[in-house]
Chain A
């Protein structure tokens, strides 16, 4: 049975965490988000903020591990992994974003995480560092390298 806050937190954040897992490239974002909540349930955390930080970090970790697993199973090119996306998603995302998102999908996983956490969740560098399990300095590095790689990829597409 859930504590009130657990149910509240689930109602308020589940959809967002599914989307986070999806943006990070998970092939089954709901599975990732549900596992994150199941793990949260067995922990005592300081407050709601700590719970959200835990959930974000767990989603990042689980997605990373899942992608690593898929990479090994499917013997695709090792880094970056090719995300598994349904045709439905491909159709739903409009044409104007497709090139950019394809470039995001090709980024190394750390760079992709840093960009999603910064530009979709609008987290601070410290929060991103907590979620990724790296130092704030590394966040800057991953994000700037990711942006640079995207810029290069888009220029190449335009040629």
Chain B
């Protein structure tokens, strides 16, 4: 590395330090989705008329009246070839097709639970797939699929719920509420919920209630829909296999979206770095190709092949689009892609990616096996990847792990990079075989750390072990517990030369426990109230909505343990309010927004014995919460105690 490169790194590092983040960034991200959703709704109003002109081609791959129960049975058999059932199969009425919809849970080869479905159609062949059940961090029920399609009078959304959920209510975009049904298949690991509604009044989300009918949270439909911002570019294009493609344009970019019955499959810009880009999901291979590609073939190991005729995009983007049923059962199967022009001449061939994670992410030093995680057949591995570091910089590492279901829901390897001096970060991997499986947390260990300890929901402390493979650039910490009802509520980390750090994990049961807490909520200003429900749960209520995003106390500890001179306050912006908890002795909290608006509220001691003060108030009119927002605490005499 020459002198200029060294200076450049130092200069970038110095400038990077000057960018701070606002405390309500997480809330801002969550707020952006509904805003985009409204934008989409306006554009979607034109959809039914536009679809009339292009609806006929949707039947290309089907054939009127050809589908039979035997087709659905064959599809079921194909899906279950490498899976085992987990509970009984449900058959519900699909109002969009007048045909049955089969729903069931299965165990994948790696043992993790999946939700499977077979959807029979009135005028085409059935389709179906299995997808890993990925629990949400802060919700007890979430969306999984929909029968919504143009031309149908009614539609049905379905999803997964934790067993403790008492009820589901669909919420339409106009606020109308539709009662849902919670089904509990015998022997299944989760419940399944359904909501049937008029297709013209699509759902925007669901409200989740506990066994007593009390609202304990909401879940947006946005994730399943894959909403895109901007204006719809003309009529959608129907492809084989029930896939619909549309395109959205903003002043900044154009996005192409693939969906099937209102369920998002894939989104992409029209830009292509190679002649074909294809992706596998929901038992489909979908993608886009350059304008001169007329046909695409996918060649799997063993000779299985799928072929798709492409369709030119109707929006003048200069690409062709395709969708075809995935002939394999395992989404990990890789394929070579071959592109042909209209004359049948081969234009290009792209070889499959390696399925060996060590090929894709070559290790530097020893590949470490995490003791006690998985088993001999399904070990959990961690290694530092040999990602070329220009200039030989020593303080950046890339940690990869494989062997379990990542928190992202993927079974493949995952890697993340960062500086060795980065703050404490925990990566989660869950294995399911042999039953009940294991949950492993691991991360890069800074050499200045003395210890890391997992704090379990039952109050137990489990010290993490440190491991350093031969020739690796750093050590890792890791801790493994059995997969079950006892979960990791957070971590403590003791630096060699500093006070103990606490890092609580999100707790999805917090909302349910907060609404039923014996102590009841403590009223605050502006219609706000707050509850602390041990373990690990603090909740603020605003207008019937519950926010559980602020860190709760670690089991056996108090909220005051999360606060000190460096972190004197934890707070959030709500819909029209701001609220939080602060160091004891705080009598007044003043907020100065990034654009100079101020708000001052009283802070009162919490009545839950948590040793903190609680506060809340209305957002000052026109206040913006970008970087530069300042919050200060004062004692009863008006003396400033802290600034954040």
Contacts and interface: CB of A to CB of B under 8 A. Distances in A.
Genuine A/B complex: yes
A129 B253 CA distance: 19
Interface in A8-55: 8-12, 14-16, 18-19, 22-23, 28-31, 33-35, 37-38, 41-49, 51-52
A100 B412 CA distance: 41
Contacts of B217: 1
B409 A23 contact: no
Interface string B110-144: 00000000000000000000000011111100100
B29 A48 contact: no
A14 B407 contact: no
A92 B20 CA distance: 12
Contacts of B251: 65, 69
B626 A30 contact: yes
Interface stretch (B48-56, B221-229, B239-247): B221-229
Contact of A42 (B16, B228, B418): B228
A28 B20 CA distance: 11
A93 B14 contact: yes
Interface stretch (B30-38, B374-382, B532-540): B30-38
Nearest to A98: B11
A53 to B, nearest CB: 10
Nearest to B10: A97
A89 interface: yes
Interface residues of A, number: 71
Contacts of B226: 42-44
Given A4-B134, A7-B137, A62-B252, A34 B29 contact: yes
B410 interface: yes
A10 B26 contact: yes
B186 interface: no
Contact of B32 (A38, A115, A121, A154): A38
A18 B138 CA distance: 24
A3 B253 contact: no
Given A1-B139, A47-B410, A19 B11 contact: no
Given A41-B33, A133-B271, A94 B14 contact: yes
A116 interface: yes
Given A16-B418, A119-B391, A150 B19 contact: no
A157 interface: no
Contacts of A51: 408
Contacts of B267: 42-43
A7 B556 CA distance: 24
A61 B253 contact: yes
Contacts of A78: none
A112 to B, nearest CB: 11
Given A4-B136, A14-B21, A38-B29, A122 B16 contact: no
Given A8-B407, A122-B417, A150-B8, A97 B14 contact: yes
Nearest to A130: B273
A5 interface: yes
A97 B390 contact: no
Interface string A125-159: 10101000111000000000001001100100000
A95 B251 CA distance: 38
A3 to B, nearest CB: 5
Given A37-B29, A119-B9, A8 B222 contact: no
A9 B10 CA distance: 26
A101 interface: yes
Interface string B189-232: 00000000000000000000000000001111011011110000
A75 interface: no
Contacts of A122: 387, 389-390, 393, 396, 417
A121 B5 CA distance: 13
Interface string A107-129: 00000000110111111110101
B44 interface: no
Nearest to B274: A135
Contacts of B8: 100, 104, 115, 119, 147, 150
Nearest to B397: A122
Nearest to B250: A65
A70 to B, nearest CB: 12
A31 B426 CA distance: 26
Interface in A69-95: 69, 88-89, 92-94
A125 B222 contact: no
Contact of A88 (B18, B225, B253): B18
B387 to A, nearest CB: 5
Contacts of A150: 4, 8
Given A1-B138, A4-B407, A97-B14, A46 B5 contact: no
B136 A3 contact: yes
A94 B416 CA distance: 30
Given A1-B138, A2-B137, A23 B223 contact: no
A48 B414 contact: yes
A142 to B, nearest CB: 14
Contacts of B22: 30
Contacts of B396: 122
A119 to B, nearest CB: 5
Given A122-B417, A147-B4, A104 B271 contact: no
B586 interface: no
Contacts of B431: none
24 contacts: A1-B138, A1-B142, A2-B30, A3-B223, A5-B134, A5-B407, A5-B408, A8-B407, A10-B29, A18-B20, A23-B15, A30-B626, A38-B33, A43-B266, A47-B410, A47-B413, A47-B414, A48-B415, A49-B414, A104-B8, A119-B390, A127-B387, A133-B271, A151-B4
Q: Report, nearest first, the 8 A-B pairs whose CB atoms are least far apart.
A: A48-B414, A5-B408, A38-B32, A97-B11, A5-B407, A47-B410, A120-B12, A1-B139
Interface of B: 4-5, 7-22, 25-26, 28-30, 32-33, 36, 134-139, 142, 217-220, 222-223, 225-228, 251-253, 264-267, 271, 273, 281, 387-391, 393, 396, 406-410, 412-418, 425-428, 506, 626-627
Interface of A: 1-12, 14-16, 18-19, 22-23, 28-31, 33-35, 37-38, 41-49, 51-52, 61-62, 65, 69, 88-89, 92-94, 97, 100-101, 104, 115-116, 118-125, 127, 129, 133-135, 147, 150-151, 154
